[in-house]
Amino acid sequence: MKKIAFIGVGVMGKSMVRNLNKAGYHTTIFTRTKSKVDNLINEGIYWSNTIKECVQNKDIIMTMVGYPKDVEEIYYGNHGILENAKENAICIDFTTSAPALAQKIYTDAKMRNIKSLDAPVSGGDIGAKNGTLSIMVGGDWDVFEDVYPLFQILGQTINYVGQAGLGQHTKMTNQIVIAGTIAGVVEAIHYAHQTNLDTDTMMKCISKGAAGSWQLEHNGQAILDNNLQPGFYIKHFIKDMKIAQEEMSDRDIELEILNKVLEMYTNLNKDELGTQALIHHYEKEN
């Protein structure tokens, strides 16, 4: 049984660690604030004091942190992953991060006889809890094949998309679709409120038809339940949209819908809430 290190145990990471643990994998975790994972420690999952200690002698090193700068910080330096992982260890970064950084980690890992995959996920806290995430994987095919059984524990839709960095590019397309979809969901609910529709009946009418989507079913219902707690933080969605924006800016291409949704979220100043809090964009103005 492969030994696993998991670094960055947030909203989704906790559930992923639990699923690995339930499947019988010895998983050691590191997160900057120990108190945030007290419940995992109480469940018998070992917490390391440092990244160096966490990754040493581990077969698989999984990472899921907030921002590209956090990815760079944990992978590089004397106490980082690349300096302390054993030869032939496999690094899997689940963070939604910059494609160029994924390519850099792949190249630098290979020089140290370490393997690397960029494997961003989609599905939010619900997908992480249920083990039904969508996982889009860039890197070498043989490495993907080697860890495929681990991906099956964490996700339901698992696709190899090509060379290093293409996992991140694929995730950008996912976030572009979400940007337009969540904005449409919020506008529909706002329209329903303004026209005195019964929103529960409205949801029954449209959620199973051509307008149906994960965003409508989950985040739309969360808005109706007045639940704005994060399954996915606004601050992380803003980060993702900015990555996509920068990728296209380098190619002199404008993503008009994404740019507008990014502006709406940025003006909200509610970074710690879930993405469904976009409803406040309309409440603020009306």
Active-site residue (options: 14, 58, 115, 171): 171
Token match 């910080």: residue? 73
User: By the 8 A CB rule, do 14 and 41 touch?
Assistant: no
CA separation for the pair 175, 123 (Å, rounded): 11
Contacts with 111 (C-beta within 8 Å, 6 or more apart), sequence order? none
- In whole angstroms, what is the distance from residue 138 CA to residue 250 CA? 21
Instruction: Assess whether 171 carries a catalytic annotation.
Output: yes
Q: What is the sign, positive or negative, of the torsion defined by CA atoms of 60, 64, 68, 70?
A: negative
Dihedral over Cα of 101, 107, 111, 117: its sign = positive
In sequence order, the β-bridge partners of residue 133 are: 155
150: nearest Cα among 166, 130, 135: 135
Point out the residues that are catalytic: 171
